[in-house]
Amino acid sequence: MNSARAWLVWGTAVLAYVVAVLQRSSLGVSGVEAQQLFGISAATLSTLAVVQLAVYAGLQIPVGVMLDRVGPKALIVTGGVLLAVGQGVVALSPPVIGVAVVGRVLVGAGDAMTFISVMRLLPAWFRGPILPQVSQWTGNIGQAGQVLSALPLSVVLHSAGWSPAFLSAAALSVLAVVLVVAVVSESPEGRDRDRAVLTWREAGRQLGESVKRPGTRLGFWSHFVTQSSGTVFSLLWGVPFLVGGLGFTSGQASGLLTVLVVSGVVAGPVLGVLMARFPLRRSALVLGIVTVLGVVWTVLLAWPGVPPQWLAVVLVVALGVGGPGSIIGFDFARTFNPLRSLGVANGVVNVGGFLASFVMMFLIGVVLDQVDAARVASGQPSDLFAFDSFRVAFLVQYVVVGGGVVGLLLARRGTRRRLHLEEGIQVAPLWVALDRRWREARRRRRGGA
């Protein structure tokens, strides 16, 4: 445990996740080119990303069940193969949207197998306080895939064209598969001794038990509310918004996506330490992140006229914190589930953010089309990606994330009730705990005086 070999296995698995994120986010930097290549509307463009995310989210629980049966290495390899094939289909697609959709379906399926499989490896190789921090590092480093899509892939796309860009992305998945086969092992003993699911009936029973645990549902809603806004921004609507709505150049917009990743990398270790030090206040961290996101979005969308570009930078930084914030959901799954069913629990959690993301992504595309149609009907020229259109379309987030916050609060109440009944741990409201801590510190200062 926590050995040099553990770090090698982890690094190789994380590399596979980095490549998966690159494939996932490749459409985000090519959205404008995809619209022009296929001649499609905003709603149809969103369908490309929505289908990918719908497949990703829909496969999370089946993949989680398979993960507890066959182990993480097999699924990481299978996912890498599907990613390579899917990107190859997109690269060689004629200007027919249906073929590109098939490619993105394969990308979504391959992506679905990667992250939770990497997370499933961690408890077999790491122990102690380092584990939640390694979980954070996994999520944060994985987002380097967005940097690869925002910079190198974008450069290849704009210099060499559509096919070379997506073929080069596919080649990276092939490389990742080779490295995982050569390096990754499920545990120091070579196989996962804790994997006890032998039949599909047993797997289904463990799924039911996991979903019934309030801690699993708390993880689901935590992922739902923290990850979705940043995912929608980075995977599809961020570049059109920055370029068409706020007047950034394509290069500047891609650079801001890099800032989003850097923000997550900086925030992740801090959140990891806070999770380890204050495990009973993880939901407060989630709610704090959601509050900051809500405030920044409100200021930007309510700004009279077109908001200044510095405010877009603030938004991107805040969105970046949501990525590592979503990892808290997996920490809830780890805490409240036995290791033998951790794969399916992680799958349940991972559905949350991507379910919210593809709902928001599709609805934003629909609203953009409707607003532009109203603009044309009033005698104005079409301007699909105008800021005033995004100002209306992005309001969808308040409805979706607001519903998620309600679900989170209900799940937290059930989790705290179960902690009190089963372990005698009573979690006081945050303000009560802070007041108690302040009073104790004040007493100590007086005693020292």
Nearest to 387 by CA among 248, 229, 206: 248
| Rounded Cα distance, 318 and 399, in Å | 19
Contact 154, 181 (CB under 8 A): no
Each of the 449 residues of the chain gets a pLDDT tens digit; together they read 668 888 999 999 999 999 999 888 887 767 667 767 777 777 777 777 778 878 888 888 888 778 877 889 999 999 999 999 999 998 887 877 788 888 989 999 999 999 889 988 888 888 877 887 788 788 778 878 877 776 788 788 878 888 888 899 999 999 999 999 999 988 777 655 555 545 667 767 777 888 888 889 999 999 999 999 998 998 788 988 999 999 898 788 878 888 888 898 888 888 888 888 888 888 999 999 999 999 999 999 999 999 999 999 999 999 999 988 998 998 888 888 877 777 788 888 988 988 898 899 889 989 999 999 999 999 998 888 899 999 999 999 999 999 999 999 999 988 888 877 776 666 656 666 666 677 777 777 766 55
| Rounded Cα distance, 113 and 322, in Å | 22
Nearest to 245 by CA among 333, 315, 305: 305
What domains can you pick out in the chain, each with its CATH number?
4-185+202-440 (1.20.1250.20)
Nearest to 122 by CA among 137, 142, 143, 112: 137
| Rounded Cα distance, 340 and 197, in Å | 7
Give the dihedral sign, CA 13/17/23/29: negative
Q: Coil, strand, or helix at residue 194? A: coil
Contacts of 214 (CB under 8 A, 6+ apart): 336, 411, 414, 415, 417, 418
| Rounded Cα distance, 289 and 317, in Å | 12
| Rounded Cα distance, 351 and 434, in Å | 33
Side-chain half-sphere CA neighbours of 263 within 13 A: 19
Contacts of 348 (CB under 8 A, 6+ apart): 60, 61, 64, 207, 210, 211, 216, 219, 220, 333
